[in-house]
Structure 1
Amino acid sequence: MPFKLPFKQVDVFTSEGFKGNPVAVINCLGINESEVTKDQLQAVANWTNLSETTFIFKPSSDQFDYKLRIFTPKNELPFAGHPTIGSCKAFLEFTNQIGKKDVVYQECGVGRVELTIKGKLISFQGEQTIVEDIADDVAKGYAQTLGVTPIETVKLLKVGPNWVVILVDEAQLCYNSNPDFAKISQISNVNDHTGIILGGKKKGTTNEYEMRAFAPVINVDEDPVCGSGALAFIRYLKDAEKIEATSEIKITQGGRLGRNGQISGIVKVHEDGKYTYHVGGDSLTVIEGQILL
C-alpha cells in the first residue's frame, strides 16, 4: 500500500510567485527512510521533471533537524542550493515552526548544513568549498561552447555539485550568451563536472552581478536560479579578489528564462581568520497537497 505524504512546491529566490526556481518537497518525516527505495524516490523526481525534488526524512541524530535527500530527474545529489533553502522553508511549514527558529541544521550528502532564518530570508552556509585548476584545453572548450572570453582564470569549484566558473567582462555578455548544450554536456561528462557557472558584473555597480548556470549533463540545460552555483561564484570572486569579505553581493539570475531570481550573498571573516560563504533569498510556497509514494 502506498504512503500518502504531504507535498509542497516552493518557489525559491523570489518574493513574487513563479519568478524564482521551483523545488518539489515531500514530507517523509512520518515514515522510516528504509521503507522506501532510491528507485522510488528517483521515479518521483523523474515525474515532477523539476531541476530538483527533495525528500525530508528523520535525521540520523539530534544534531540535525532533518535529513534531506535531493534528486534531479536523472540522479541523486549530495547538495544543492535552492532545494536546501526551499526544503528548509517547507520543513518549517510542515512542522509549524515558522517564526520560531533562527537556525536549522540540515543533514545531507555533504554532512551538516547550517541555515539561518531572518524574517523571510533563509541563508545557508557553505564553508567546505574546494577550488581546483582545470586544464587549459577544457577551459577553452567550455568558453567556446558559450561564445565568451573569460577575464580571469577558469576554476573548478566543488560545493557538492562540481561547477566550472567563468567570469566575463560585464553582465550583458553573460546575459547574451547562447550556449551549445550538447558540447557542454560532452565536456562535462568526460570531466565529471556538473556544468558551468557564467557571471558578469553589472556596469556602474560595486557588488552586483548577473549569473547563469548550465548543467545539461544532468538534464538541466539552464537552471533558472541556482544556489550552489551562487556559492561557487561568490567563492570564486573572493579568491579572484573581485569582492571583499563582509561585503554583500547581489546576484540576479533567470532573465533569459522569464524569471527574476534574487540571490544575496556574503563572505564572513571569523576570529581564527577563516572565511565562510553564505547564500540566501526569499521563498514562498505555491502548491500544497499530497503525493502517493
Structure 2
Amino acid sequence: MSRFRFSQINVFSADPLSGNPVAVIHGADSLSEKQMFALARWTNLSETTFLLQPDDPAADYRLRIFSPGGELPFAGHPTLGSCHAWLSAGGKPGKSDVIVQQCEAGLISIRREGSSLAFAAPPLVRSGPLEEDVVNKIANAFGLPLSDIVRHQWVDNGPGWCAIMLRSAQQVLSLKPDWAALSPLNLGVVGLHDSSHEADIEVRAFVGEGGYEDPVTGSLNASLAQWLMEENVVKSTYLSAQGTMLQRAGRIHLHKSSDTVWVAGEVVKVIDGEINL
C-alpha cells in the first residue's frame, strides 16, 4: 500500500460549498489505469484527477481525468482545480505568465487572473447544427415544443457536448429531464437572463449517459462561449450562472482575447490530506 497526497478543490465559487468539487491525487505516476478508474468510482465525484510528470517538454505537468464512467480527454473544472492543487503543492511553472497542462486533449494554457484561474478553451472537435433526430430526441426528453428551441449546435470539445438555447433563463430553470429518453446525449441548455440578474445567462448540464446533472461545468461553458460569441448572442465578456437547481451558486467568467476564449472562476481548497492506495 502506498500513500499519496490528496486534495479536494472547489471550483467556480469562492464559497467552499457552492461550486463543483474535484478530487486530486498528487504524484500518481505509479498508479495503474485500473487503480485510477477504481478511485474515481470510489470518490463518486463527477471527476477525479491524477497529477503526473509530463512527457511533453512544453508542459508543466500531465493530468489524467476520470469520471465514474471512464476517462475524459478534457474537463474544465478539473483543469482549474488540479492546477490550483499543483500550485499549492509547490509546483513552479516554466513560464511566468502561463501554466501549461498536458492532458489527452493536448496542451491547455492556464493563467492567474487575480484570485481566479482561467483556462484557454480548447478547439471544438465537433460543431455545426444538431441533426433533426437529435433535436427531436431532446425536445421529447424535456416535453418541449420544437418552437421553444431557438438555437442548437454541436459544441463538443471532448466530452461530447451538444447544446440548445431556450427562450429564457427561467425556462432553462424549469426543465425536468426524462433521463431514459435523453440517454446517451450530454446536453447543455442555455437561456438569457434579463438585465436585473447578476449573470448574463443560465446554464444547465445534463449528462444523459450517466443520468445526472453536473453542478458547474467548465468544458461546456467554454464551448458554449465559442458558439454564442460567434453568433453574437453574447458579448465578448459575460458571466454565466450554473448550479441553481442543485443549490449551488457557480459563476463562470468568460471573455475573448484575440481569438482565444478564456474560462475563469474562483478556486478554493477544501480538503488537503493523504490517501492510502
Class of the TM-score when normalised by the shorter of the 2 chains: over 0.9
Q: Which amino acid in 1 is paired with 2:262?
A: H
1:19 equivalent to 2:18? Answer: yes
Tell me which residue corresponds to 1:166: 164
* Partner of residue 147 from structure 1, selected from 143, 151, 162: 143
1:288 equivalent to 2:272? Answer: yes
Checking the alignment, whether the CA contact within 8 Å between 1:101 and 1:117 is kept in structure 2 is: no
Q: Distance in 1 between matches of 2:18 and 2:156?
A: 27
Deviations 1:257-281 (A, max 9, x none): 1100010001222xxxxx2211110
1:214 equivalent to 2:203? Answer: no
Tell me which residue corresponds to 2:239: 250
- SS at structure 1 position matched to 2:127: strand
Output the TM-score relative to the length of structure 1. Answer: 0.88
Q: How big is the shift at 1:64?
A: 0.5
Checking the alignment, whether the CA contact within 8 Å between 2:23 and 2:43 is kept in structure 1 is: yes
Q: How big is the shift at 1:239?
A: 2.9
Unaligned ranges ≥5, structure 1: 270-274
1:8 equivalent to 2:7? Answer: yes
Deviations 1:119-166 (A, max 9, x none): 2110100141241333111112112212332112x2111211111111
Q: How big is the shift at 1:205?
A: 6.3
Equivalent residues in 2 for 1:1-293 (5 A)? 2-28=1-27, 33=29, 35-95=30-90, 102-129=97-124, 130-148=126-144, 149-152=148-151, 154-185=152-183, 188=184, 193=185, 195-204=186-195, 208-217=200-209, 219=210, 221-244=212-235, 247-269=236-258, 275-293=259-277
Checking the alignment, whether the CA contact within 8 Å between 2:11 and 2:77 is kept in structure 1 is: yes
- SS at structure 1 position matched to 2:150: coil
Number of aligned residue pairs: 271
Q: How big is the shift at 1:101?
A: 5.1
Tell me which residue corresponds to 1:272: none
Checking the alignment, whether the CA contact within 8 Å between 1:51 and 1:220 is kept in structure 2 is: no
- SS at structure 1 position matched to 2:172: helix
Checking the alignment, whether the CA contact within 8 Å between 1:165 and 1:236 is kept in structure 2 is: no
Checking the alignment, whether the CA contact within 8 Å between 1:165 and 1:232 is kept in structure 2 is: no
RMSD: 1.9
Cα–Cα, structure 1 residues 96 and 232, in superposed 2: closer, same or farther, change >3 Å?
Answer: closer
Q: Which amino acid in 1 is paired with 2:133?
A: D
Q: Distance in 2 between matches of 1:220 and 1:41?
A: 22
Q: Which amino acid in 2 is paired with 1:145?
A: A
- SS at structure 1 position matched to 2:216: coil
Q: How big is the shift at 1:184?
A: 1.1
Q: Distance in 2 between matches of 1:147 and 1:211?
A: 18
Q: Distance in 1 between matches of 2:245 and 2:176?
A: 10
Cα–Cα, structure 1 residues 196 and 74, in superposed 2: closer, same or farther, change >3 Å?
Answer: same
Output the TM-score relative to the length of structure 2. Answer: 0.92
Q: Distance in 2 between matches of 1:136 and 1:50?
A: 33
